[in-house]
Chains A and B, each alone.
Chain A
Amino acid sequence: MTADTTGAQAAATRLTLSRALNEGLRKAMENDPKVLIMGEDVGKLGGVFRVTDGLQKDFGEDRVFDTPLAESGIVGTAIGLALRGYRPVCEIQFDGFVFPAFDQIVSQLAKMAYRSAGHLRLPVVVRIPCGGGIGAVEHHSESPEVHFVHTGGLRVVVCGDPADAYAMIQQAISCDDPVIFFEPKRRYWDKTDVDLAGGLAAALPIDKARTLASGTDVTLLCYGPMVRTCMEAAAAAAEERRSVEVIDLRSLSPLDTETIFASVRKTGRCLVVHEAAVTAGLGAEIAARVSQECFYHLEAPVLRVGGYSTPYPPSRIEEYYLPDLDRVLDTVDRAFAY
């Protein structure tokens, strides 16, 4: 990301994803007194995943506050606070609980700038822990990102690891557009080095994809919880002398198609991997665009690895629903079989 890797390493601290987000929120609150944190259990408890741990103690109950138990209210009042000049960061406790707020997000948050002919901007961030693989009961394992990608006026991003999340949450907060910010909940306790001293100027822009592994045979496009899975798949494929390029999309709306197309033109094969159902999922959008823009470079159709067209299943069989290393490798094999 930056040329000055030695300096970054010197300041690096090993943090979990949850902690890195916490540090990012803290930094944003220090830098801008208008930043607020609101949601269920974000105060004294510090959020059910501890992402806001200690922030109420340090910034006070005016800036970090527990809301009544009503998601529509959380986003609706965040809009009002933004109209008054604040930059609210809302926490929705679990993916499946965002839907009571769906109306406020889709009909109000996404459209107000447009309706005002640009007179209004709503710098609201809606943080949503997403995805499965944690053995949870229903409504706690969903991947609803594409509902928001389909809605013009929202930025939709997904963080993939602690180092990136630390910068991304700050970028999301400083962004003047509404941002739906997904956090892969099964990766909350994964650790990487995080450069807490690094400024945002050196960070990758929030709407750019990042190439995590360079390869020449096949491109794996992924985000959030599947980033680690795809990196593991790339390592396993390397043992079979297959050179896999892994791209963390980071921003699902807008999509960094420049990075995607450049990679697919190089490798000639493209897989999109996500937990969400493949039916009308992000992979469908990418497949259409890649087919259109990289048609003569393709050695195989764009293939998708993702959830089935079912409701999220009971956790005892979620491993069969969720893409994993084997399913990714199996699909890589299929891409080579054409």
Chain B
Amino acid sequence: MAVKAAGRAASRSAALDKPSGKPELIQLLTPEGERAEHPDYPLELTPDEIKALYRDLVLVRRIDFEAIALQRQGELGIWASLLGQEAAQVGSGRALGPRDMAFPTYREHGVAWCRGLDPAKLLELFRGVSHGGWDPKAHNFHLYTIVIGAQTLHATGYAMGIQRDGAVGEDGEAAIVYFGDGATSQGDVNEAFIWASVNNAPVVFFCQNNQWAISEPLDRQTRIPLYQRALGFGFPGLRVDGNDVFACLAVTRKAMQAAREGQGPTLIEAFTYRMGAHTTTDDPTRYRLSAELESWKLKDPIERVKQYLIRSVMAPESFFTDVAAEADQVGTRIRKACLEMPDPAPLSMFDNIYAEPTALLAEERAQLEAYLSSFVSEEVGR
């Protein structure tokens, strides 16, 4: 048993902002595409690494775009767009090691991409073919969780397991859990903060504050910047520019490493904006002003990386056309996968409920099978 409340390093207490102060926004790449430095978050990236991040951002946005189109055409029941949140997801997703475990909401398509999950698997859930159905262990990427905030406790418990496995240390593992600004009001999330804190669990709370919980603006959930809540629970919190993929990468790397080494949880508030609707069934024009949307367009997470690459002459024009072409290929591929996706067999609803099927389920399955075959024989009879 390696459960031990390690003393917190002095440098980490510096991350605790004064609650009364103006929130500090950690930023390493300005909306104009200029590189900024931060003393606590030095970040050295090679041109290839930057180009890889750019590619991730573009492909993830393209996947999202294709899924919205598929929903509009009736091929998906619903889609929860990540538009505007690509940097928060790619930056944090690329900060994870293969042995780290990620717990998503239902909007983490960018994190799923970084973990190597085939985007077509995501479409299954939104098409109504499965409830997810992927093996979370295959990519260390848990199932999407739709009940708001529930997964924060799962990540915390998983992190407590890491502690008990003795997998905390220089070469340790950690969990990261994603949730939104709305979720911070849920009891589960607050309980997760407490459990993670008192256990000093190796978990990073990654809150994408996209300013809106369906129609409710942030002030319905909080009167203080969300990251400052961490202080009350006894661990550091910080706010990062959620549209800055460099900063999201840097802060998540540091928080994950701290967790792996036994320094406990961190709350990261990625300050971003939900550029689209809550889901494809939502109509944001009913409750928010277009001026707000316009102001956030100027902070686009992808455009700033592109500007940086161009200005620093790291990428020729052909790089951008190549990425755009690859994005179209990915879009075409997932569209094809979606259209070819067979409906599940009706009787599959009885599968995987228990480790071994029960007699009751076997009976019900047989009933449905007989019932369905009665139609077939009637049709044949005609």
Query: What is A's interface to B at a CB cutoff of 8 Å?
Result: 40-41, 43-46, 48, 66-70, 72-73, 96-97, 99-100, 135-140, 279, 308-311, 313-318, 320-321, 326-327, 330
Residues on A with beta carbons closer than 8 Å to the beta carbon of B343: 316-317
Are the CB atoms of B350 and A69 closer together than 8 Å? no
Are the CB atoms of A41 and B147 closer together than 8 Å? no
> CB within 8 Å of A: which of B107-163?
125-131, 146-148
Q: Which residue of the partner chain, among A66, A72, A327, contacts B215 with CB atoms under 8 Å?
A: A66
Is residue B298 contacting chain A, with contact meaning CB distance below 8 A?
no
Residues on B with beta carbons closer than 8 Å to the beta carbon of A96: 146-147
- Chain B interface size, as a band, is 35 or more
Minimum CB–CB distance from B321 to chain A (whole Å) comes to: 36
Minimum CB–CB distance from B361 to chain A (whole Å) comes to: 6
Is residue B372 contacting chain A, with contact meaning CB distance below 8 A?
yes
A48-B346 CB under 8 A given contacts A136-B78, A309-B360: no
Minimum CB–CB distance from B191 to chain A (whole Å) comes to: 11
Are the CB atoms of B350 and A310 closer together than 8 Å? yes
> CB within 8 Å of A: which of B178-232?
182-183, 185-188, 213-216, 220-221
- State the 6 A-B residue pairs at the shortest beta-carbon distance, nearest first: A315-B128, A68-B185, A45-B215, A69-B182, A313-B349, A320-B346
Are the CB atoms of A327 and B185 closer together than 8 Å? no
Are the CB atoms of B213 and A69 closer together than 8 Å? yes
Minimum CB–CB distance from B338 to chain A (whole Å) comes to: 12
A45-B286 CB under 8 A given contacts A320-B368, A330-B371: yes
Q: Which residue of the partner chain, among A135, A140, A308, contacts B364 with CB atoms under 8 Å?
A: A308
Give 16 A-B contacts (CB < 8 Å), ordered by A residue: A40-B214, A44-B215, A44-B287, A66-B220, A69-B183, A69-B220, A97-B148, A100-B187, A136-B77, A137-B78, A308-B364, A309-B360, A313-B349, A314-B349, A320-B346, A327-B371
Residues on A with beta carbons closer than 8 Å to the beta carbon of B130: 314
> CB within 8 Å of A: which of B326-382?
343-346, 348-350, 353, 358, 360-361, 364, 368, 371-372, 374-375
Are the CB atoms of B188 and A100 closer together than 8 Å? yes
From B348, which residue of chain A is reached at the shortest CB distance? A317
Residues on B with beta carbons closer than 8 Å to the beta carbon of A139: 146-147
A135-B77 CB under 8 A given contacts A66-B216, A315-B128: yes
Are the CB atoms of B220 and A67 closer together than 8 Å? yes
Minimum CB–CB distance from B178 to chain A (whole Å) comes to: 15
Residues on B with beta carbons closer than 8 Å to the beta carbon of A316: 127-129, 343-344
Q: Which residue of the partner chain, among A44, A315, A320, A321, contacts B77 with CB atoms under 8 Å?
A: A315
Q: A308-B350, A320-B349 are in contact. List 10 more A-B contacts (CB 8 A).
A: A44-B287, A70-B186, A137-B78, A309-B358, A310-B361, A314-B131, A314-B349, A316-B127, A318-B128, A330-B374
From B345, which residue of chain A is reached at the shortest CB distance? A317
Minimum CB–CB distance from B184 to chain A (whole Å) comes to: 8
In the bound complex, how far is the Cα of B146 from the Cα of A43, in angstroms? 23
Q: Which residue of the partner chain, among A46, A73, A321, contacts B349 with CB atoms under 8 Å?
A: A321
Residues on B with beta carbons closer than 8 Å to the beta carbon of A48: 214, 281-282
From A45, which residue of chain B is reached at the shortest CB distance? B215
From B213, which residue of chain A is reached at the shortest CB distance? A69
Are the CB atoms of A41 and B215 closer together than 8 Å? yes
Residues on B with beta carbons closer than 8 Å to the beta carbon of A311: 131, 353
Minimum CB–CB distance from A161 to chain B (whole Å) comes to: 24
Are the CB atoms of B146 and A137 closer together than 8 Å? yes
Are the CB atoms of B361 and A135 closer together than 8 Å? no
Minimum CB–CB distance from B376 to chain A (whole Å) comes to: 13
Are the CB atoms of A317 and B147 closer together than 8 Å? no
Are the CB atoms of A70 and B214 closer together than 8 Å? no
Residues on B with beta carbons closer than 8 Å to the beta carbon of A140: 146
Q: Which residue of the partner chain, among B129, B147, B215, B372, contacts A320 with CB atoms under 8 Å?
A: B372
Are the CB atoms of A41 and B128 closer together than 8 Å? no
From B147, which residue of chain A is reached at the shortest CB distance? A139
Residues on A with beta carbons closer than 8 Å to the beta carbon of B131: 137-138, 311, 314
